[in-house]
Amino acid sequence: FSLPDYYMAGVGDTYFSGKMLAKLGRIIVITSELKGLAATPDSDSFNLDDPSERELKRIVLAAKNANLPSDEVMMEAVARLRSGVEVWLNGTAEAKFIYDDDWGGLVNC
């Protein structure tokens, strides 16, 4: 998943770009969880009489067989997310935040 260039430059509004950044963040978190499951050591310690442990073993095996991104790709995704958020926080966005005296808060335009 990649963010459009105009979101990375802070050209769009914060509502839709925030939704895209949140989507990337969720993808990163879910992928990290799957990578953690895939790293679970092979073990015969699952109690296959317990339905929840059978399900956990099935999930671990599915994660091990999934085509998950490398650690390098994950770090690149985190860097893209960081850059996409920083553009709004460091004032370099093309659509900057301003203080609205009428409403008494920050808006972007």
User: What pLDDT is recorded for position 29?
Assistant: 98
Q: Which DSSP category does 50 fall into?
A: S
Q: How far apart are CA 72 and CA 46, in angstroms?
A: 32
Residues in the chain: 109
pTM, whole model, 2 decimals? 0.80
Query: pLDDT tens digits for 33-71?
Result: 999 999 988 767 777 888 888 888 889 999 999 999 999
Query: pLDDT tens digits for 75-104?
Result: 999 999 999 889 888 888 888 888 999 989
Contact present, 56 and 14 (Cβ < 8 Å): no
Bigger pLDDT: 26 or 3? 26
- Please tell me whether residue 69 adopts helix, strand or coil conformation: coil
Q: Spell out the alpha helix ranges (H) of the chain.
A: 5-8, 14-38, 51-65, 71-89
